[in-house]
Amino acid sequence: MTAGRLLVVATALGALFGGCAGGEGQTGTGSAGTTGSAGTSASAGTTGSAGTSGPGSAGTVGSAGTFGSSGTTGTAGTTGTAGSSGAAGTTGAAGSSSSAGRSGRGGTSDSGGSTGRAGTGGSAAGGAAGTGPTAGSSGTSGPPYALKNPPVASAGCGKPTTIKSGMKYTITSSNQPRTYIIDIPTNYDMNKPYRFFYTSHWIGARAEDVVGQNYYFLKPLANAANEPAIFLAPQALPGNPGGTWDTSKPTDQILFDDILAYVKENLCIDVSRVFATGFSFGGMMTYSLSVNHQKDIRAAVGIAPANYNIYVPTKTHQPIGWMQTTGMSDGTCPWVNGSSTTQGAKYIGAEHAADNGCTPATIPTWQSGPHVCYDFAGCMPGYPTKVCTFNGPHTNINSDPGSSANWIPTESWKFFTQF
């Protein structure tokens, strides 16, 4: 399907179903992840000798890192070389009583708990990962990652996979068969953690249409940069009017959780570089995930998103890397929905900027010439927030004056690869 055809379909169906206009989606809670065996590395506390091995590895399980504080008794253990004083040895014994490591099993509530597995290595990086014991859907705590952090391997790393690239697969989610198409690099390396992109389709479209656009034109950019990634396009429920994502239930959020858990177990991905993107209703689905899956999704790009007519869960207001694009003549998912002070792309950008601790600002928008991107200042380290506007309608394909290049995927790829 051509770009023009995609735009016509999106616009026509938007008019048919009220586009992005309408009432706010109902709220609910996202489901917790299920893996998170991270706490198991806490048994390292039994070494207790110098406190350096006990607290070190326990620190890697995050909250068990508080077990590292029992390592402060272990600091006496560090003086345990002066064990001749005997007292150091007794404090070292406190390390053996560091069953506080068992509290590290709080990681079992974490779908990102597989990151906690790094705790078995007792490295500082693993310890940081271990601090994220809860699932992204609960969003109550998790691993803050610095920009350009070392990859965090999923459980599927080091294991051969039977998944075939370009195939449509079925997964049971919420007791229903759901389908998706996955694309893995030609020379897939089971020992290399890859970026993972979750790409949601627009209204009236199918997963095949996202594949036809090379996953929002990101796959060619990844290959050109010699940074191949794993891309996945899920399919909305066939019974939903116009091929939309659910507007009042967390069904599609649960689908994301189920697919991500499967991918983590069966492919080698970097769990600290899980990304989401989508156009129109796909941008709305991306927004929905961005407000309560911050511990699963490192960054997201909403292309012509809206914050209504989609299921919006209870928001955690945790930070997430966020970028969005909106055409200033977009009448389907507009910058501001009528006279509303809460609905529209403008308020999505302001919301994520606030959640990311950015300096409040009046967002500059396109007035003339090429597209305008605004990077909020003062955001928390690792959580950039970017809003792009341009002279155009409801579309994911736009060129600046004097250029034939679609700048939207270029800006998106640049945004994603800073992580």
pLDDT of residue 143: 62
Residues 89 and 30 in one domain: no
pLDDT of residue 107: 33
Residue pair 330/20 in contact by the 8 Å Cβ criterion: no
pLDDT of residue 164: 97
The domain that contains 306 carries what CATH number? 3.40.50.1820
Q: Which CA distances in Å does 198 have to 78, 171, 182, 294?
A: 46, 15, 9, 14
Residue pair 308/283 in contact by the 8 Å Cβ criterion: no
Residues 29 and 48 in one domain: no
Q: 367: helix, coil or strand? A: coil
pLDDT of residue 242: 84
The residue type of 97 is S
Residues 164 and 70 in one domain: no
In this structure, is residue 148 part of a structural domain? no
Token look-up 């708990």 returns: 113
Residue pair 343/306 in contact by the 8 Å Cβ criterion: yes
pLDDT of residue 209: 98
Q: What is the pTM of this model?
A: 0.70
Residue pair 322/347 in contact by the 8 Å Cβ criterion: no
In this structure, is residue 3 part of a structural domain? no
Strand order in the sheet with 385-390: 168-173, 176-183, 230-234, 194-200, 269-279, 299-303, 321-327, 385-390, 372-375
Structure tokens belonging to residue 248: 């009042």
Give the orientation angle of helix 407-416 with respect to helix 214-224, to 10 degrees.
60
Structure tokens belonging to residue 58: 């326990």
DSSP 8-state class, residue 40? G
* Rounded Cα gap, residues 399 and 416, in angstroms: 20
In this structure, is residue 138 part of a structural domain? no
Residues 63 and 95 in one domain: yes
In this structure, is residue 147 part of a structural domain? no
In this structure, is residue 142 part of a structural domain? no
Residues 277 and 230 in one domain: yes
The residue type of 353 is A
Residues 185 and 47 in one domain: no
Domain coverage including residue 93: 38-130
Q: 195: helix, coil or strand? A: strand
In this structure, is residue 44 part of a structural domain? yes
pLDDT of residue 113: 34
Residues 119 and 175 in one domain: no
Residues 125 and 168 in one domain: no
Residues 67 and 47 in one domain: yes
Residue 82 has a CB neighbour count (10 Å cut-off) of 12
In this structure, is residue 186 part of a structural domain? yes
Residues 19 and 52 in one domain: no
Structure tokens belonging to residue 153: 């391997």
* Rounded Cα gap, residues 44 and 98, in angstroms: 9
What percent of the chain clears pLDDT 90, i.e. is strictly above it? 64
In this structure, is residue 163 part of a structural domain? yes
Number of domains in the chain: 2
Token look-up 């600046």 returns: 400
* Rounded Cα gap, residues 304 and 55, in angstroms: 47
* Rounded Cα gap, residues 350 and 385, in angstroms: 9
pLDDT of residue 243: 86
Residues 27 and 60 in one domain: no
Strands 299-303 and 321-327: parallel
289-318: buried (b, 16+ CB within 10 Å) or exposed (e) per residue? bbbbbbbbbbbbbbbbbbbbbbbbbeebeb
pLDDT of residue 25: 34
CA nearest neighbour of 315 among 25, 24, 32, 29: 29
Residues with Cβ within 8 Å of residue 343, at least 6 apart in sequence: 24, 306, 307, 308, 336, 337
Tell me the pLDDT of the chain (419 aa) as tens digits: 434 433 333 333 343 344 574 433 333 333 333 333 333 333 333 333 333 333 333 333 333 333 333 333 333 333 333 333 333 333 333 333 333 333 333 333 333 333 333 333 333 333 333 333 333 333 333 468 999 999 999 999 999 999 999 999 999 999 999 999 999 999 999 999 999 999 999 999 999 999 999 999 999 999 999 999 999 999 999 889 888 999 999 999 999 999 999 999 999 999 999 999 999 999 999 999 999 999 999 999 999 999 999 999 999 999 999 999 999 999 999 999 999 999 999 999 999 999 999 999 999 999 999 999 999 999 999 999 999 999 999 999 999 999 999 999 999 999 999 99
Residues 20 and 84 in one domain: no
pLDDT of residue 396: 98
CB-based burial label for 150 (10 Å; 0-12, 13-18, 19+): middle
